Structure 1
Amino acid sequence: MKVVVLGAGVVGVATAYYLARAGAEVTVIDRNAGPALDTSFANAGQISYGYSTPWGAPGIPTKAVKWMFEKHAPLAIRLDGSAFQLSWMSAMLYNCSPERYAINKERMLRVSNYSRQCLAQLRADTGIQFEGRSAGTLQLFRSQKQVDQAQRDMEVLKECGIAYELLDKAGVCRAEPALAQSGATITGGLRLPDDETGDCFLFTNALAKLAEGLGVQFRWNVEIDQLEQGADGSIGGVRIRSAGEPQAEVLQADRYVLALGSFSRPLLQSTGLDLPIYPVKGYSLTIPIVDEALAPISTVLDETYKIALTRFDQRIRVGGMAELGGFDRALRPERRATLEMVTRQLFPGGDLPRAEFWTGLRPMTPDSTPIIGPTPIANLYLNTGHGTLGWTMSCGSGKLVADIVLGQPTDIATDGLSIQRYLRAGKVCTRAT
């Protein structure tokens, strides 16, 4: 079976790998010069199985109003002039109820926990290296209110069989010794010992080489003009244009998987499917370490500022924040200032003047759950909308969609994961069921 995968970020490459491993003839198309040069390039570095948490949660609407007046707020909204932005935000607010939060978190944890198993097997099978660490994630609380609010998450973690530890300040400092020297207020923390860290860019490039060894063909510097539909409504081919080539060509396959992240929605609109995926902008710093005693061991997630600080071998990756403002990629100095402020407070062991400042667009759905599986178009499948958790969910969602595409039994339940949850009365809505 011939399969074309659109997109070579971590999700697209993982999809291609698992398809090829199962015997498919796979071609991957990407507009960049190599793997993971978009959102997967410099993300926060955390593989947060247990911290797969919906952005839409009880209390978020009130917090969002408060953040509008804060200098270092984790959320900023810039109207982009589209009705879609307003409907997407409305749908996200709809998902802030306790009932929707519980449904969405279960779906996310289902995929994330499966991805943990898939990555462990991949590592055992291939020995893949990516500056990975297996020392867990520590969600850092600066107030007792945050500790109290963590009870809701712990209930869901317990129901899903995910290990966790609620720590006091002393426990936090034992888990991350450098925090004992921090001047920040520390009330406690929620530690998820099974979470991991690693450089997503290194991982994706290593996995792409493994995929090539299985016969996957990667076509770089290729723009995708459109998906062409046949007379029966299925995808008849992908019209592409290679860099430097005046003529477009149509690439044909038996089945197609769309894994273009934030760019999935614009491409798919010509088919009549309007995906509820919005580009949520995030920022990161990659900082050389100069004092290991003042650097994290693994990932610390500052709950107050929604910023993650992750340890690589000789670097710290600091990432976070969310801006709703369309496809704007401007590097805003005030965002760098926030990342640097949190770093100085918690882990001042890095060389901030030499830090690399980066921004990327996360493909977010209103319910924070990715869209994985078939579509109403018979030979078109989706693996997109992972938001901040593409790195975390990549192996699980890649294996899952490969099984679906090839008609194999899946290892986990797929209910609530496909575009079907957004389809009502023959149209795509922004509110999921």
Structure 2
Amino acid sequence: MKVIVLGSGIVGTASAWFIRQEGHEVTVIDRQPGPAQETTFANGCQISVSHSEPWANPSAPKKILKWLGKADAPLLYRFRAEKLQWQWGLRFLRQCTRGKTAYNIRQCVSLADFSLRTLRALRAEVNIEYDHLSRGIMHFYTDKDEFDASKPGAELMTSLGCPRNSIDPEEVVRIEPALASIKDKLVGGDYTPGDEHGDARAFTIGLAEKAAERGVEFRFNTTAIRLLTEGAGATARIVGIETINSNGEYEVLKADAFVVSMGSFSAPFLKPLGIDLMIYPAKGYSATYPIINSDAVPSVSLIDAEYKLVFARLGDRFRVGGTAEMNGYGRELNMARCEALTKRTRELFPEGCDYSQPHYWSGLRPMTPSNIPYIGKTKYGNLFLNTGHGTLGWTMGCGSGRVIADIISGRQPEVNFKFTGM
């Protein structure tokens, strides 16, 4: 069978890899000049099974109201005359009940755990260098109320098979000595030794190279214009896709099956087909600094509870990522938010990095209100979705690629997850 995958981020590239492993002929289309050039490019780099809680939870509405109007707030919601944004916001609020939050956590953890196991198996099969460290993820707290509020979530994660152990400040510093400078401010933490981190972009580029060696065709600098359909109702299907490359050359590509992994752009791309995806872009920021003192920079990946930031060492670089801006599809840098990243990182690790020339970046996380991605079939018999992973694209990417290959091949995936259309 011939399969076309739209998108070459971690999710699209993993999909192409596993679909090819099933023996299918695969072509990947991406408007960028290479893989991992958009949301995968410079994300927070955590494989965070134990921290895969959805944004929507009972405490979220109060926090969002508190942050309204603050330029450097962890979540900045800029209201727009945009129907999808308002629809998304209302559905997000509906997901903030305890019952829905618990269900969404179980769904996310199930897929994230499966994906981590898939990543490890893939890593053992192919040699890809991506500055990964398997030293766990630690969440540290400087606010006692927030630390106390985190304990039920940690207990739930532990009950789901992700040991997330609540620890005191002494244990926080013992596990990660680079936090010693703020020990007097710490009230506690939680630590999951089984989580890990690594450069998602480097991994995706490496996997794309391996996939190409095994016969996957990558068509970069090629924009997907629209999908062509035939039939109606139960017999409706996709017969081709119109494309145009950077030289202005138009072409219609044919295939037996199509997979949409276009992140935030999946929703507007599919809307003309009557497929209404509840995906809205959340612009996230990151900053990357050269490490100048290895002992002063953590090797355990960290989550700063107060500022909603994540930290990861990537070889001789240090990455901080976080914040979210709900403000359409633009990727312009808001310098107030960029400078907040550097200010906090310098406070925590003043001697660790050269902060004089940070590399700032922004990317559009494809968020669903529940944080549960769309994976599976659509009303068109040969059109499949693998998109909407939000902040967890790297965490869920390999597992999502494997399961979409199963679904296309007519098999039930080996994970307890409610797939789209199944």
TM-score w.r.t. the length of structure 2 is 0.97
2:18 corresponding residue in structure 1: 18
C-alpha contact (below 8 Å) 1:135/1:297 kept by paired residues: yes
List 4+ stretches of structure 1 deviating above 3 A: 69-72
Q: What is the CA deviation profile of residues 82-121 of structure 1, one whole-angstrom value per residue up to 9, with x for unaligned ones?
A: 1211110111111111101000000000100000110110
CA distance in 1, matches of 2:261, 2:135: 30
2:388 corresponding residue in structure 1: 385
2:5 corresponding residue in structure 1: 5
Structure 2 counterpart of 1:354, which letter? Answer: Q
CA distance in 2, matches of 1:288, 1:53: 31
CA distance in 1, matches of 2:288, 2:113: 28
C-alpha contact (below 8 Å) 1:287/1:351 kept by paired residues: yes
Matched, 1:412 2:419: no
1:267 corresponding residue in structure 2: 269
Which deviates the most, 22-31 or 64-73?
Answer: 64-73
Structure 1 counterpart of 2:247, which letter? Answer: G
2:302 corresponding residue in structure 1: 300
C-alpha contact (below 8 Å) 2:71/2:337 kept by paired residues: no
CA distance in 2, matches of 1:277, 1:238: 22
2:373 corresponding residue in structure 1: 370
1:430 corresponding residue in structure 2: none
2:136 corresponding residue in structure 1: 136
C-alpha contact (below 8 Å) 2:111/2:416 kept by paired residues: no
C-alpha contact (below 8 Å) 1:371/1:419 kept by paired residues: no
CA distance in 2, matches of 1:71, 1:261: 25
Which deviates the most, 336-345 or 14-23?
Answer: 336-345
CA distance in 1, matches of 2:390, 2:102: 18
Matching residue within 334, 358, 374 for 1:355: 358
1:205 corresponding residue in structure 2: 205
1:111 corresponding residue in structure 2: 111
Mind listing any 5+ residue stretches in structure 2 that lack a counterpart?
none
Matched, 1:244 2:267: no
1:424 corresponding residue in structure 2: none
2:60 corresponding residue in structure 1: 60
CA distance in 2, matches of 1:139, 1:207: 30
1:429 corresponding residue in structure 2: none
Cα RMSD (Å):
1.3
C-alpha contact (below 8 Å) 2:285/2:363 kept by paired residues: yes
Structure 2 counterpart of 1:77, which letter? Answer: Y
Matched, 1:290 2:289: no
CA displacement at 1:145 relative to structure 2: 1.1
CA displacement at 1:393 relative to structure 2: 0.5
CA displacement at 1:340 relative to structure 2: 1.0
CA distance in 1, matches of 2:201, 2:300: 18
C-alpha contact (below 8 Å) 2:70/2:76 kept by paired residues: no
Q: How does 1:23-422 map to 2 (within 5 A)?
A: 23-68=23-68, 70=70, 72-182=72-182, 185-231=185-231, 232-246=235-249, 248-348=250-350, 349-415=352-418, 417-418=419-420
C-alpha contact (below 8 Å) 1:44/1:318 kept by paired residues: yes
Count of residue pairs the alignment pairs up: 418
Mind listing any 5+ residue stretches in structure 1 that lack a counterpart?
421-433
CA displacement at 1:159 relative to structure 2: 2.4
Change (3 A) 1:258 1:138: same
CA displacement at 1:13 relative to structure 2: 0.2
Structure 2 counterpart of 1:95, which letter? Answer: Q
Change (3 A) 1:85 1:273: same
Secondary structure of the structure 1 residue equivalent to 2:185: coil
Structure 2 counterpart of 1:37, which letter? Answer: Q
Q: What is the CA deviation profile of residues 408-431 of structure 1, one whole-angstrom value per residue up to 9, with x for unaligned ones?
A: 23111332x3267xxxxxxxxxxx
